[in-house]
Chains A and B, each alone.
Chain A
Amino acid sequence: MKKFLVILLTVALLAGTLTACGKKEETKTEGSDSKVTTTVENKGDNKTEDNSGDSEETVDEIYFLNFKPEIAEVYDKIAADYEAETGIKVKVYTAASGTYEQTLKSEIAKSDPPTIFQINGPVGYESWKDYCLDLKDTKLYSYLSDKSLAITAGDEVYGIPYVVEGYGIIYNNAIMEKYFALPNRATQVSSMDEVNNFETLKAVVEDMTAHKEELGIEGVFASTSLGAGEQWRWQTHLANIPFYYEFKENTAYDNTILAGLAANEVEFKYAQNFRNIFDLYIENSCTPKGLLGSKSVNDSMAEFALGKCAMVQNGNWAWAQIKGVEGNVVKEEDIRVLPIYTGMAGEEKQGLCIGTENYFAINSKISKAKQEASIAFLEWLFSSEKGKSYVKNELGFIAPFNTFEEAEKPTDPLAKEVLAWMEKDGVTSVAWTFAAFPSEDFKNYFGDALLEYVQGSMTWDDVVSVVKDTWKSQRAK
């Protein structure tokens, strides 16, 4: 009896410590089984045999690793609706701002990896190509209105863009009108239409700073957020402009991304232009320079929404953030967007920066049934009535799919401005060239250097050296 008790106790202890491990091992074997079936499929033969085998597997969950924290809550609602309609659970996990690559790296190595994830362009594809499924035969790809936007390698399609976005300087027209009505202003500008180059913008902004009490603002620009993970507006978006112009001069390629990808070194020729607008942001801000290292993008959007400042650099995805601030005083009809002027010759014809860095990719290492379920979810989101209404009204995406009619484009003020600038006569949009930046680390080092410059511990020349050296070393990897 005693012996029996002893053995029973030991087995119980053992089972107790190993239950968690046990579950993992089960799913691991499941995973490796599906890996086997996928490789067989990829070899191309006996498709019908594999299909019949896999259709017996019931998929009840797909996993989407979301990149955009601004609309994370909307996905919860979408998932609930989709589950009600089809019974398939959509697990949506959102990576915190600036942490997508790390989160993807650790999640994709698990036994329950993301089935839908994002890549940011050709450089992101290079890192993740072993995990991207070929999507050229899917309906989703056929929905793309401009097939050249997709990420391809040879004939295969690996990344499908799901949103066209634009960014520039968002401004509150009510405050601008107040300025133009000031009797003692120093500039002769009387409407935003006249602000079409850097010199005019600088004159207006600096005069507004001089009159900030009368205008009722704490500064012209919102905080230049330089907290950890919050620097992307400068090291990616703002940096886009000087590099766009630099790569445009390489006439061997007909788009700036290809020219950028071929560049193993950069001159950072238009560094002074970057500096022009960056200095304007930090010298006319509603936050003193020393505090910018603790500010986040949310802080900046809140400052704009609460009327503490007149301008903030951001894109049409930020509408959800402005609308959601408690105590928002900015009216929809007052929200406009201005191109980011840096002092380049001919910038009167420059428009907003338009493009995408959000491409859906489907995990190639999961079971076929899960892949099909994931693709079906995306197709539902972008072609069904309910899905499209979410995209238009709550996600606010300008989706590049032919399933959307004119009336189904988003109507929030920022999206309308982006679309207006895209279609304006005589104005060329600046293409998103930062897809050609060598790596996330490059952008992070650039951002760190900017923070030190703002805090006064680095000179601008040092920042330029950091940019040039990091580009070279990161490209060499």
Chain B
Amino acid sequence: MNKYKKRYFPIFVLPTLTAFLIAFLIPFIMGIILSFTKFTTVLDAKWVGFQNYIDAFSNKEFLNALWFTVKFTVVSVITINFLAFLLALLLTRNIKGKNLFRTVFFMPNLIGGIVLGYIWQVIINGVLFKYGVSMTFKPEYGFWGLIILMNWQMIGYMMVIYIAGIQNVPRDLVEAARIDGASSFKILTKITIPMVRPAITICLFLTMSNSFRLFDQNLALTAGAPSRKTAMLALDIYNTFYGSVGSEGIGQAKAVAFFLIVGLVAVLQLKLTRKKEIENYGI
């Protein structure tokens, strides 16, 4: 078997590797190179060194978008994971119709971002109509609108992962704890949560990277209104690139910076939570 693996592995990997190269690696490297140039089309690039990065980071809107995205990510990660875990706990008890509930809670995740953004825009504006304002009235409205939308969409997905994690907690541990007289709360904190750590790692990673990279819903819900104050990083990059002729290089620089920030935060987060996982397996 190993002989076959060694001989034919390159052939089988080839299709995926080619696609990966063409669709990801090459544009990625081109992007990094272009971020150091001033260009309008890929063929007329002029080298400008770090000027694009300096322009990007001194751009008020980029910094505003960065701060907004960080705030949004922190709030949405906490709320989504908390609510998803709560729902998962509820739906792993023996209640009637638990499968139906699980399906229903998961369904919002299936709706595409742009459609979701427009639907929620109509709903939220409909509610705010009673107060005579629309969502563009203050950036805070847009912020909370995005949080509500993100929660509605992602809770079901995270809930499913948590359910899988909870169901994997060994029964005998729980029973042993109950015999020893542990309260439900103690079981939750001392047994369930530590054993669910891998699921927590994954969910934290997914929510964090989804929130950071949010674009479709941002565009459809607020399009950055008012005055680009609710534009998140991806939308800001999109605006820089398409807004006026001449700032494509800066847009590219912002995009590379975006990649570095998300990459760094993701790696840090994984490292931290992985460490905790291993510690707990040592029980």
A residues near B, CB below 8 A? 6-7, 10, 13-14, 16-18, 21, 101-102, 105-106, 109, 126-127, 226-229, 288, 290-294, 439-441, 444-445, 448-449, 451-452, 455, 457, 474, 477
Contacts and interface: CB of A to CB of B under 8 A. Distances in A.
Contact of B136 (A10, A102, A106, A451): A451
Contacts of B274: none
Contacts of B138: 455, 457
A477 B244 contact: yes
A271 B162 CA distance: 59
Contact of B16 (A17, A290, A448, A457): A17
B82 interface: no
Interface in B123-177: 125, 129, 131-138
A21 B134 contact: no
Contacts of A477: 244-247
A298 to B, nearest CB: 14
Nearest to A290: B133
Given A102-B242, A290-B133, A13 B15 contact: yes
Contacts of A13: 12, 15
A291 B224 contact: no
B22 A291 contact: no
A467 B201 CA distance: 48
Kindly list the 7 A-B residue pairs having the minimum CB-CB distance in the complex, ordered from nearest: A293-B136, A290-B133, A228-B223, A448-B227, A294-B134, A102-B242, A441-B244
Given A17-B18, A477-B246, A7 B11 contact: yes
B130 to A, nearest CB: 11
Contacts of A127: 245
- Looking at A109, A127, A293, the one whose CB has the most chain B CB atoms below 10 A away is A293
Nearest to B136: A293
Nearest to B126: A294
Nearest to B131: A290
Given A14-B14, A101-B242, A288 B227 contact: no
Contact count band on B: 20 to 34
Given A127-B245, A440-B244, A293 B134 contact: yes
Given A293-B135, A457-B138, A474-B244, A17 B19 contact: yes
21 contacts: A6-B8, A7-B11, A10-B12, A14-B15, A17-B16, A18-B19, A105-B242, A106-B242, A228-B225, A290-B131, A290-B133, A290-B134, A292-B134, A293-B137, A448-B225, A451-B226, A452-B226, A455-B136, A455-B137, A457-B138, A474-B244
B137 A290 contact: yes
A53 B222 CA distance: 52
Contact of A293 (B129, B131, B225): B225
Interface in B1-25: 8, 11-12, 14-16, 18-19, 22
Contacts of B15: 10, 13-14, 16-18
Given A7-B11, A291-B132, A451 B18 contact: no
B49 interface: no
A444 B12 CA distance: 51
B246 A291 contact: no
Nearest to A292: B134
B213 interface: no
B228 interface: yes
B280 to A, nearest CB: 41
Nearest to B129: A291
B189 interface: no
B263 interface: no
Contacts of B125: 291, 294
Given A228-B223, A449-B227, 20 more contacts: A10-B11, A17-B15, A17-B18, A21-B19, A21-B22, A127-B245, A227-B225, A228-B222, A288-B132, A293-B136, A293-B226, A294-B134, A451-B136, A451-B226, A451-B227, A457-B138, A457-B226, A474-B244, A477-B246, A477-B247
B183 interface: no
Nearest to B137: A455
A438 to B, nearest CB: 9
A463 to B, nearest CB: 11
A444 B239 CA distance: 11
A29 B270 CA distance: 45
Given A18-B18, A228-B224, A290 B132 contact: yes
Nearest to B224: A228
Contacts of B41: 109
A452 B230 CA distance: 13
A106 B40 CA distance: 12
B27 interface: no
